[in-house]
Structure 1
Amino acid sequence: MEARLQRRVQRYGWDRAAAHYDAHWRHQLRPCHDRTLAMAALRPRESVIELACGTGQVTFAAAAAVGPTGRVCATDISEAMIATAREQAAARGIANVEFERIDAEQVAATARRFDAGLCALGLMYFPDPEGALARLGRVLRPGGRVTVSVWGRRECCGWADLFPIVDARVESEVCPLFFRLGTEGALDRAFEAAGFTGFRAERIGAELRYRDDHDACAAAFLGGPVALAYGRFDAATRADVDAEYLASIARYRGGCGYAIPGEFVIATARVPD
Structure 2
Amino acid sequence: MEPQLEEIREQQKAAWNKFSSGWKKWDDLTMDFLKPMGNEIIRLLTLKDTDVVLDIASGTGEPGLTIASAVHNGKVIMTDLAEDMLEIARENAARRNIKNIETIVCDVCELPFADNTFDAISCRFGFMFFPDMLIAANEMVRVLKPGGKLATSVWNVPEKNFWVTVTMGAINRNIDLPVPPAGSPGMFRCAKDGLISDLFLLAGLKNISQKEVASQLNSKTADTYWSMMTEVAAPVAAGLGKADEITREKIKREVYQALDQQYPDGNIVIDASALVISGEK
Q: TM-score range by the shorter chain?
A: 0.7 to 0.9
In structure 2, the CA distance between the partners of 1:252 and 1:16, relative to structure 1 (3 Å rule), is farther
Alignment equivalent of 1:26, drawn from 18, 22, 31: 31
In structure 2, the CA distance between the partners of 1:198 and 1:112, relative to structure 1 (3 Å rule), is same
> How far has the Cα of 1:56 moved from its partner?
0.7
Alignment equivalent of 2:212, drawn from 203, 213, 221: 203
Query: Deviations for 1:227-264, whole angstroms, at most 9, x for unmatched residues?
Result: 65268457715434423433454443232232322111
In structure 2, the CA distance between the partners of 1:73 and 1:65, relative to structure 1 (3 Å rule), is same
> How far has the Cα of 1:165 moved from its partner?
4.8
> How far has the Cα of 1:103 moved from its partner?
1.8
Aligned residue number for residue 160 of structure 1 = 164
Aligned residue number for residue 51 of structure 1 = 56
Letter in 2 for 1:24: L
Distance in 2 between residues matched to 1:128 and 1:251, nearest whole Å? 39
Query: Deviations for 1:184-206, whole angstroms, at most 9, x for unmatched residues?
Result: 11111110111111101111222
Name structure 2 gaps, 5 residues minimum: none
> How far has the Cα of 1:50 moved from its partner?
0.8
In structure 2, the CA distance between the partners of 1:122 and 1:225, relative to structure 1 (3 Å rule), is farther
Whether 2:267 is the aligned partner of 1:257: answer: yes
Distance in 2 between residues matched to 1:160 and 1:60, nearest whole Å? 26
Does structure 1 retain, via aligned residues, the 8 Å contact 2:56–2:80? yes
Distance in 2 between residues matched to 1:184 and 1:234, nearest whole Å? 34
Find the residue that maps to 1:144 and give its secondary structure.
strand
In structure 2, the CA distance between the partners of 1:147 and 1:192, relative to structure 1 (3 Å rule), is same
Letter in 2 for 1:34: N
Query: Given the two structures, how large is their TM-score scaled by the length of structure 1?
Result: 0.88
Alignment equivalent of 1:103, drawn from 81, 102, 107: 107
Distance in 2 between residues matched to 1:270 and 1:191, nearest whole Å? 9
Whether 2:75 is the aligned partner of 1:71: answer: yes
Does structure 2 retain, via aligned residues, the 8 Å contact 1:48–1:115? yes
Does structure 1 retain, via aligned residues, the 8 Å contact 2:29–2:218? no
Q: CA RMSD in A?
A: 2.6
Distance in 2 between residues matched to 1:9 and 1:244, nearest whole Å? 29
Aligned residue number for residue 147 of structure 2 = 143
Letter in 2 for 1:183: K
Aligned residue number for residue 130 of structure 2 = 126
Find the residue that maps to 2:163 and give its secondary structure.
coil
In structure 2, the CA distance between the partners of 1:127 and 1:240, relative to structure 1 (3 Å rule), is farther
Aligned residue number for residue 16 of structure 1 = 18
Query: Given the two structures, how large is their TM-score scaled by the length of structure 2?
Result: 0.86
Does structure 2 retain, via aligned residues, the 8 Å contact 1:18–1:81? yes
Distance in 2 between residues matched to 1:225 and 1:40, nearest whole Å? 30
Distance in 2 between residues matched to 1:233 and 1:212, nearest whole Å? 26
Aligned residue number for residue 84 of structure 1 = 88
Distance in 2 between residues matched to 1:31 and 1:214, nearest whole Å? 24
In structure 2, the CA distance between the partners of 1:26 and 1:263, relative to structure 1 (3 Å rule), is same
Does structure 2 retain, via aligned residues, the 8 Å contact 1:222–1:230? no
Q: Report the number of matched residues.
A: 270
Name structure 1 gaps, 5 residues minimum: none
